[in-house]
Chains A and B, each alone.
Chain A
Amino acid sequence: TQLLEQSPQFLSIQEGENLTVYCNSSSVFSSLQWYRQEPGEGPVLLVTVVTGGEVKKLKRLTFQFGDARKDSSLHITAAQPGDTGLYLCAGGDFGNEKLTFGTGTRLTIIP
């Protein structure tokens, strides 16, 4: 069974601070996706990384896929209240279309 552990589980910081969320596994994934979910809504895709060592930037968000394709990180610069939400990483499986979701990180940005 593939498991994706996210850390921290909860994070509450002041507006303007930087933060990093980690997504770790002992399994290798074909791709790694990051989602943000608001309460009562479905997850919304932020980014997909597919190559080991790949780094993608989306405005203040920087995503990295580990060289061995077992882990990933999400770094947010100058966090804003609009960044508040549940962040989920999800690993793609080789040979099928299933996604394994991480345990989630609930982020709260305090104005």
Chain B
Amino acid sequence: GAVVSQHPSWVICKSGTSVKIECRSLDFQATTMFWYRQFPKQSLMLMATSNEGSKATYEQGVEKDKFLINHASLTLSTLTVTSAHPEDSSFYICSAAGVSGQAGVYGYTFGSGTRLTVV
């Protein structure tokens, strides 16, 4: 089945530094990638949608200058949290959408998430 690799799985950084999270679709081409944020005991909240080679579309209330998204290829998207602060601590999850498998079914595959802790 479709696999999405997300790295790192966890990261601790100092306040004011930047952190980059990578999301790779390993066996299919992702036409669209999504980035979500999840607070403890809560559901997923969509932050932004990105298509390869174009600027990401951010959801209302998400600072595009703080959460930089790059989708340079059909298999790789990155989320950079710039000048991170403790309130940015959260669980970040990517999702890749595309056609995969022998049956050629369109679907969504999620990465395993990145736990970011800003101290």
Known contacts A98-B49, A99-B95; can you find 9 more A-B pairs with CB under 8 A? Answer: A40-B91, A40-B113, A40-B115, A43-B93, A98-B34, A99-B108, A100-B46, A101-B46, A104-B43
Contact across chains for A33 and B108 when beta carbons are under 8 A apart: yes
Residues of B within 8 A of A (CB): 4, 6, 9, 31-32, 34, 36, 41-46, 49, 91, 93, 95, 97, 107-113, 115
Tell yes or no: A62 within 8 A of B by CB. Answer: no
CB interface residues, A 77-111, toward B, < 8 Å = 88, 96-104, 106
Q: Which residues of B contact A98 (CB under 8 A)?
A: 34, 46, 49
Tell yes or no: A45 within 8 A of B by CB. Answer: yes
CB of B18, distance to nearest CB on chain A (Å):
23
Contact across chains for A102 and B43 when beta carbons are under 8 A apart: yes
Q: Which residues of B contact A100 (CB under 8 A)?
A: 46
**Inter-chain residue pair count (beta carbon < 8 A):** 52
A88-B44, A98-B34, A103-B43 known; A45 and B107 CB under 8 Å? yes
Which residue of chain A has its CB nearest to the CB of B45?
A101
Contact across chains for A101 and B43 when beta carbons are under 8 A apart: yes
Contact across chains for A101 and B108 when beta carbons are under 8 A apart: no
Contact across chains for A43 and B44 when beta carbons are under 8 A apart: yes
Contact across chains for A43 and B41 when beta carbons are under 8 A apart: no
Contact across chains for B107 and A48 when beta carbons are under 8 A apart: yes
When chains A and B are docked, how far (Å) is the Cα of A98 from the Cα of B93?
A: 14
Q: Which residues of B contact A48 (CB under 8 A)?
A: 107
